[in-house]
Structure 1
């Protein structure tokens, strides 16, 4: 069965208007429409950098206790979290997994590790 949703942990976390920190989230695989539809949005046509904000507001299905993710939530992310999510998005949509392939510098053996947060990795489970 194809896995279509992936959990993540933001390195810093989103702080809502009440001061609550939200770090754990879920991102689903993007569809073609998720990437095409925002191109019609005036915010993206006037600022191409805004495209990722709209895409993330479509594919992130949960962030902490926030279940309705909108562009304002994505705009409120710290830069480190946005960079993490861009890398995470690329991994799950290109490879179908949040795992990163790496080579051990000591033994030269290839391994897969799961990206949990910026700068942190854990052993991937088979």
Structure 2
């Protein structure tokens, strides 16, 4: 295995012809792999506590393959999203043991929200969208994940 040696900067290589320092390329932001969300209704646990705030991580190929061999999915293909969401939701309020059994006890409106959220972060890579003001035409970004139901 070859080792690369790190050498000291060579004079003139980090400067333009006039000796001014060259602009450094901006460092890319680290890839975001977890995204926070707020459920429209919330998961109600066995103690009656409602959990609305949660975190979902990006899905891996394995996450998308595991449900395909699950017996419940083979018997009922609609169960695929329940199994998949149970794999990628990492936290829901104070609950950290997320699994398909917990997801199947969630309200349908929250499942629909989570399915859409999953699609946005995994297909598009982020929850920001470029928009423009209908009045002045100024372009800006908004986080379409929102904080609460109806917000964007």
User: Does residue 119 in structure 1 map to residue 142 in structure 2?
Assistant: no
Alignment of 1:20-35 (within 5 A): 20-35=49-64
Identify the residue that residue 119 of structure 2 maps to in structure 1: 90
Check whether the contact 1:24–1:64 (CA below 8 A) recurs between aligned residues.
Answer: yes
1:74 to 103, 115, 128: 103
1:38 to 67, 80, 92: 67
**Structure with the higher fraction of residues in helix conformation:** 1
Bigger Rg, structure 1 or 2: 2
Secondary structure of the residue aligned to 1:30 is coil
Higher RCO, Cα 8 Å, sep 6+? 1
The two structures, once aligned, show a CA RMSD in angstroms of 1.5
Normalised by the length of structure 2, the TM-score is 0.73
**Structure with the higher fraction of residues in strand conformation:** 1
How many residue pairs get aligned? The number is 121
Gaps of 5+ in 2: 1-29
Identify the residue that residue 85 of structure 2 maps to in structure 1: 56
1:72 deviation in Å? 1.7
> Counterparts of 2:79 and 2:92 in 1: how far apart (Å)?
20
Residue 79 to residue 108, structure 1, CA distance change in 2 (3 Å): farther
Gaps of 5+ in 1: 122-126
1:22 deviation in Å? 0.3
> Counterparts of 2:125 and 2:89 in 1: how far apart (Å)?
16
Give deviations 1:39-64, integer Å, cap 9, x for gaps.
Answer: 00011111111100000000000000
Normalised by the length of structure 1, the TM-score is 0.87
